[in-house]
A and B are shown apart, each in its own frame.
Chain A
Amino acid sequence: MSEQQFLAEPDLQFINDIQKSGGGDLKKCFQCATCSVVCNVTPEDSPFPRKEMIWAQWGQKEKLMSDPDVWLCHQCNDCTANCPRGAKPGDVFAGIRSAAIKALAFPSFMGTLLSSPGLAIIAWGIPVVILLAMISIMPGFYSVLPHLNPHSFFGEMFEQFKNPGWGNMPSGPIKWSNFYPELGIDLTFLTLATLAIISLAVGLVRFWNTMEKNHGEKGLIETPVYNVIGTVPTILSHDRFMECDTSRNRYYGHLGVFYGFVGAFVTTGLVMLSLWVAGIPTPYTLSEHGVLTVIVKVIGNISAAAIIIGGIVLWAQRASFKKGSSSYFDWTLIVLVTGLGVTGLAAELVRVEDLRSIAYPTYFIHLVFVAYLFLYFPFSKMAHLAYRTVGMAFARTAQRDMVTEEEIA
């Protein structure tokens, strides 16, 4: 090794963060490098996770934050299963990733909010409050655009006071727009999405810059956009998950959730387009609107099923892998994903079955999950979607990712 002196300057808070978010056993590592050998997704040159384990022990925050390898890891847990010390590299990596999401968060207090189990009530309370506030101002929107909504929220409330009990909701078929008009809902969530995209963009630019500064030794090739596009086949095929030995089932779980979300996104987009472009309001009955109805219903329901089944598979896999542990960060995402699917499907069922007593509360809970997803996308584990993609893209840019190597060869 070089004779150059190196001052470690450990960041104790960062070590703490990693330990709290899954990497509690990281100091047990004695650098035997079993992990780097059993890992099926690491590049062969400067492999992970052994080197990250010592960086984590020594609190090398900048090295870890700027390390694309942390995001090449798919937490197969082959390392954890074979670790002779119970240091759980898979969990440490999950901890590093959540600590990195927290550290790169903009604004930074959001990182703290989403990574602290003690603040969970506040984190879940905020979307509840936002939604209640938005719904309560809906009559204003309604009066501006009366053709969109025959009933106002307050009107419904009034009805209810007159006829106590959820069962006495407005007559006629249950329509979510009775509760929360389309314009309101779209404006609310588009606003949340815009804020999330801005926050995420700041985080990702910070991430890219620090990677470029610290890990570009081999020289950078091609543009970031080109390399982001290059990651798409890997992401769509989920072939990295297929490399895992220990947690092979995660492939199916993650695939279900991933494509479930893609489907849900497509469905939502179609519904929005058909409303605002063609003026077709929801809900559709099966006899209406021909192909559009079929597409929306088929994709929507398959997506919901995929999210729920995928979420349960991921849940079961985490619960059954005794050697590893799962952090608040992990469980929040799994609860969120499964909850989104279950409440979404439940809302549909209660609407179709006309279960008036629980229809609107179910829908409200579903909206809380959706709002949580949008509002916290850049600061929760959901952000791995963006950070992992960018990390993988940088690995290609820095001629590091093994997929790139294979393609070159």
Chain B
Amino acid sequence: MPAEKTGTILVVGGGISGLTTAVEAAETGYDVYVVEKGPSMGGRVAQLNKYFPKLCPPTCGLEINYQRIRKNQRVKYYTLAEVETITGQPGDYDITVKLHPRRVNENCTACNACVDACPVERPNDFNFGMDTTKAIYLPHQMAFPMRYVIDEKACKGGECAKCVEACKYDAIDLNMEPETISFKVGSVVFATGWDPYDASKLGILGYGKAKNVITNMMMERYAALNGPTQGKIVKPSDGEAPQTVAFVQCAGSRDENHLSYCSYICCMASLKQSTYIREQYPDAKITIFYIDLRAPGRYEKFLNKIEADENVTFIKGKVASIIEDPETGGVIVKAEDIMGGGIVEQKFDMAVLATGMQPTTAEKKLPADLKYDENGLIIEDPNKPGIYATGCAKRPVDVTTSVKDATGSALKAIQTMVRR
């Protein structure tokens, strides 16, 4: 038995799962480090326009968590930070974390003077490249911490330094260096979340070839007030309102050539997004192409509500071809209407690919002794306490389930320390 135990938990990832794990553990009386690799907390949830099925904005839930963190001295968090090493044993881990230079310090008041001065633009990854920001930018309107950041790849550095001149608060340090910090924790929770599956890998579905093929996450950004079009859903080709929209379910999911599993949320996401369109364009016609519809538990009511909408048509049959319509710039979508008994080749103004969630660990493995399944999802070993995974790092789930899972993971992390 190690003589001295630490009562500290490391949470890797600052999305809804990581935030929840952190505040639940901290409010129970344990110290927590949150290490987030991006410039802001919030993760994928921050990119969503609305939650299903209540259709409320996620900013509200995130804001509550941010407040709980602000009020709680036990939570320390790092952004632009990545865990480098984890050594030791349950109850006694040594952690090193690399902090990438933000080049903006805590003096920043988010006054935006630097952005006005900055001459360089970069594609805005928060909006999936649908618009741009300056090289110095606020990650998004609900960023936490509310602090600007410099994209080191885009920034011209000392030769430009216009932002440094513009900043009245001495908040910009273009020479900020990366640093490595180390600390001890008793247990680790990986809340490393997911990335949208890369739609450009879905050759036959036309993404990247037909202009008006977008992904479901791009639709979230279009519909969000802080998105590239201030909440207006438009066709990427001409910025006009779409009158007909096709939703393409299982785009890359349940497909051994892409993601072999069902991503669980995409059916509900498309049903939800059909309400975005119907709200903005009451006459718009929507067709949802699906293999099977997954609306578990109380979500079935939501499905029933959408099914009752006469402007929404459901066609059972997976879309296996989308090409650009050379005449209109729209899309031509092809599927077999299984219940109707024939191939349908239909024109739409735009198509939304309901792409699934791929664990971030599919591409990059974590610096810990973890097991992964063939999709890169973390397999928790019940015989190995001390290191846990939560939320979409383990399996694709919705926000509600992630939050419940995170609470459970906080408890597991605490148990590791209490039992020893």
A interface residues with partner B (beta carbon < 8 Å): 1, 30-38, 42, 44-47, 50, 82, 84-86
Contact = CB atoms under 8 A, between A and B. Distances in A.
Contact of B335 (A1, A30, A33, A46): A33
Contact of A38 (B258, B291, B320): B320
18 contacts: A32-B291, A33-B335, A35-B320, A36-B317, A36-B336, A36-B343, A37-B336, A38-B204, A38-B320, A38-B321, A45-B343, A46-B342, A47-B336, A50-B338, A84-B254, A84-B255, A84-B257, A85-B254
Interface SS of chain A: loop
Contacts of B319: 37
B1 interface: no
A38 B254 CA distance: 17
B94 to A, nearest CB: 44
B266 to A, nearest CB: 14
A64 to B, nearest CB: 18
Interface in B193-232: 204
B336 A50 contact: yes
A32 B204 CA distance: 15
A243 B338 CA distance: 23
Given A32-B291, A38-B320, A84-B256, A45 B204 contact: no
Listed residue (B255, B258, B343) with the most chain A CB atoms within 10 angstroms of its CB: B343
B334 interface: yes
A86 B334 CA distance: 21
B342 A44 contact: yes
Contacts of A44: 342-343
A36 B334 CA distance: 10
A41 to B, nearest CB: 12
Listed residue (A37, A46, A86) with the most chain B CB atoms within 10 angstroms of its CB: A37
B250 interface: yes
Contacts of A86: 256
Given A38-B204, A84-B255, A33 B339 contact: no
B213 to A, nearest CB: 16
A33 B342 CA distance: 11
Contacts of B291: 30-33
A43 to B, nearest CB: 9
Given A45-B341, A45-B342, A82-B204, A37 B250 contact: no
Interface of B: 204, 250, 254-258, 291-292, 317-321, 334-336, 338-339, 341-343
B290 to A, nearest CB: 9
The 5 residue pairs across chains A and B that have the minimum distance between CB atoms: A84-B255, A37-B320, A33-B336, A32-B318, A36-B336
A85 B253 CA distance: 11
Nearest to B337: A33
Nearest to B252: A84
Given A82-B320, A84-B250, 19 more contacts: A1-B339, A30-B254, A31-B291, A33-B317, A33-B318, A34-B318, A34-B320, A37-B336, A42-B343, A44-B342, A45-B342, A46-B342, A47-B343, A50-B336, A82-B204, A84-B255, A84-B257, A84-B318, A85-B254
Contacts of A50: 336, 338
Contacts of A46: 341-342
A50 B321 CA distance: 16
Contacts of A31: 291, 338
A84 B336 CA distance: 15
B127 to A, nearest CB: 30
Contacts of B250: 32, 84
B216 to A, nearest CB: 18
Contacts of A33: 291, 317-318, 320, 335-336, 338
Nearest to B316: A33
Contacts of B320: 33-35, 37-38, 82
A44 B336 CA distance: 9
A138 B250 CA distance: 69
A86 B255 CA distance: 9
Listed residue (B204, B255, B319) with the most chain A CB atoms within 10 angstroms of its CB: B255
A63 B230 CA distance: 56
B256 A37 contact: no
A23 to B, nearest CB: 17
Nearest to B335: A37
A279 to B, nearest CB: 60
A32 B341 CA distance: 13
A181 to B, nearest CB: 59
Listed residue (B258, B334, B338) with the most chain A CB atoms within 10 angstroms of its CB: B338
Contacts of B317: 32-33, 36-37
A37 B334 contact: yes
A46 B340 CA distance: 9
Contacts of B338: 31, 33, 50
A37 B343 contact: yes
A78 to B, nearest CB: 10
B254 A37 contact: no
Contact of A37 (B255, B321, B339): B321
A187 B255 CA distance: 57
Contacts of A45: 341-343
Contacts of B339: 1
Contacts of B321: 37-38
A324 to B, nearest CB: 14
Nearest to B203: A82
Nearest to A86: B256
A399 to B, nearest CB: 14
Nearest to A54: B338
Listed residue (A31, A36, A47, A86) with the most chain B CB atoms within 10 angstroms of its CB: A36
